[in-house]
Structure 1
């Protein structure tokens, strides 16, 4: 990182559910708000545009089919007009952005994160390597090329989605790329509250905190919120409203040695967390433990990391055209014999 402190922001907000235009406008507005408060980097929750598909956790697939076409239509491409609007906002306000969005590519959707720099360039887009549990009924998976860390003026920036923070080898691959600022994007921690501890804020905020200390990185952990609009759309019974409670916003910002750097918001409140990231903390943290450096044991453990894209179709180059030899002449239109 540079020697200067940089202000970073983590969004805690309810998405504009299944409404692409409104969702993009919300992102543009939040970028402007963060920039007005001095942020040079702003991070958004998982699949913030057009919102996380909560129906997959609440009822049978037959019931959930009512959302499928609408969700696909309101998902965003990585290079379309909507991304261009967000990129223009990043350029206007001179901020870097990490945006969680449902990416539409052909007939498939992916849980993606876009990296935009302060000139409005889309530096990279990554996809969640393995969607979790019922997420696989909606989304495809990424490949090794989706392990990405990007150079910025204020440090090496990377990102993962949600339960990718419970994949030890994925994390180690990220650490190996020299990450200094990490975005841990989460959808909300309001699902199955009181019944599934692993989905709750204690466990998942612990994952973000451990990532910070284990990898010695700053961690921005933006988080979505479940509000009345989500209940209106997804929870048509009392049972579903109990399964998906309102609230769940638990955005956090952590230092590389475990310090909580921002005052949390109430879980039902929308807003932005801010923290000033002091690069001196990185040196302090790395001096104690560097898992891919002085604190590693490559003679005992090594990670095999295939960072190559893995496309479904590999096109072979066209074969060269074979020219007829000059000393051959046709006899009956099909046979060729040498000339005497």
Structure 2
């Protein structure tokens, strides 16, 4: 929950590339950004989608039959939550006094999930959000999350939730966060601006969905993306061969106010930075004078959202027989 009467906080998007397929090195980089955030007085730091160990761009660039080896490498570089690598970020968050939303490829048993890890400024693992629906070729890599992780978390600066990439097109998923009182939204994305056929559309999609969520949810939205670097392209091409579908480049990060206006950015291109902005939670109250998606503007008598938040497992226990139906 928020501290005292403080309403003004500083939030930031990590606009940076991972060390693709190297979880240890990328965690080192993440911890460095957390330490920098602490030095700059940043209260919340949002990382791009699956920053650890990076987005598997090859899934959209090569035939599926050629990808088994890269998928196996990616599985090996994915992380457990909780686990030793995430614990390093927790320790960095505690030392810096920074809340963190970290995108990871999470390994749980034999399945990978596209996951956002929520850590508070005391280093506590608050919980996770697993992407509900991997998009297109992402389904080769990640399993589906369920609504047990479609959550908003209490932090010192307010109620923080998040979604990954085209999950933002799932309007009911966004509404599920809105009705939980989300105040700050962590929007995690890869950089797809240079992908053939998306050069003119991707930035527009990200901006449109982010501004829409800010206004319809009356919340601040932090958009974090990574550029695709020459090193990342070289790694993929060394393993899989040349490709002309997605050259290096891209990256678009920004922060939006609850009325849909821009608080910071967009920051684009290869230059890495922490894109920061001050946010004042009283701005949410100002927009609520016009509309409240969790109150008078929800029309609860007409429209209600039902969410099945039971964790989905492969084992369900049948009810035990009672004395009345033993026979």
Q: Say if 1:199 and 1:113 are closer, same or farther in 2 by CA, change over 3 A.
A: farther
CA distance in structure 2 between the partners assigned to 1:230 and 1:97 by the alignment: 25
TM-score (norm 1): 0.89
CA distance in structure 2 between the partners assigned to 1:224 and 1:34 by the alignment: 17
How far is 1:119 from its partner? 1.1
Residue of structure 2 equivalent to 1:173: 176
Residue of structure 2 equivalent to 1:89: 92
CA distance in structure 2 between the partners assigned to 1:198 and 1:301 by the alignment: 36
Which has the higher mean CA deviation after the structures are superposed, 285-294 or 310-319? 310-319
* Alignment equivalent of 1:152, drawn from 125, 138, 155: 155
* Alignment equivalent of 1:68, drawn from 63, 66, 71: 71
How far is 1:203 from its partner? 1.2
CA distance in structure 2 between the partners assigned to 1:35 and 1:105 by the alignment: 31
Q: Is contact 1:149–1:179 with CA below 8 Å preserved after alignment?
A: yes
CA distance in structure 2 between the partners assigned to 1:141 and 1:78 by the alignment: 16
Q: Kindly provide the CA deviation profile for residues 56-94 of structure 1, in whole angstroms up to 9, marking residues without a partner as x.
A: 100111221121111111100001110111100000111
CA distance in structure 2 between the partners assigned to 1:165 and 1:311 by the alignment: 25
Residue of structure 1 equivalent to 2:187: 184
What SS does the aligned partner of 2:268 have? coil
Q: Say if 1:132 and 1:76 are closer, same or farther in 2 by CA, change over 3 A.
A: same
Residue of structure 2 equivalent to 1:217: 219
How far is 1:238 from its partner? 9.4
Count of aligned pairs:
318
Q: Does 1:125 align with 2:128?
A: yes
Residue of structure 2 equivalent to 1:104: 107
Q: Does 1:277 align with 2:265?
A: no
CA distance in structure 2 between the partners assigned to 1:104 and 1:149 by the alignment: 22
Residue of structure 2 equivalent to 1:332: none
Residue of structure 2 equivalent to 1:57: 60
What SS does the aligned partner of 1:261 have? strand
Q: Is contact 2:263–2:277 with CA below 8 Å preserved after alignment?
A: yes
Which has the higher mean CA deviation after the structures are superposed, 227-236 or 35-44? 227-236
Q: Structure 2 unaligned segments of length 5 or more: list them.
A: 323-327
Residue of structure 1 equivalent to 2:198: 196
What SS does the aligned partner of 2:91 have? helix
Q: Give 1 or 2 for the bigger CA radius of gyration.
A: 1
Q: Does 1:313 align with 2:315?
A: yes
Residue of structure 1 equivalent to 2:325: none
Q: Is contact 1:212–1:255 with CA below 8 Å preserved after alignment?
A: yes
Q: Kindly provide the CA deviation profile for residues 31-59 of structure 1, in whole angstroms up to 9, marking residues without a partner as x.
A: 11111111011010000000001111001
How far is 1:3 from its partner? 3.6
How far is 1:289 from its partner? 1.5
Q: Kindly provide the CA deviation profile for residues 226-265 of structure 1, in whole angstroms up to 9, marking residues without a partner as x.
A: 011111022469972x421322110110010112111332
CA distance in structure 1 between the partners assigned to 2:268 and 2:103 by the alignment: 22
CA distance in structure 2 between the partners assigned to 1:211 and 1:142 by the alignment: 21
Q: How does 1:266-305 map to 2 (within 5 A)?
A: 266-305=268-307
State the Cα RMSD in Å: 2.0
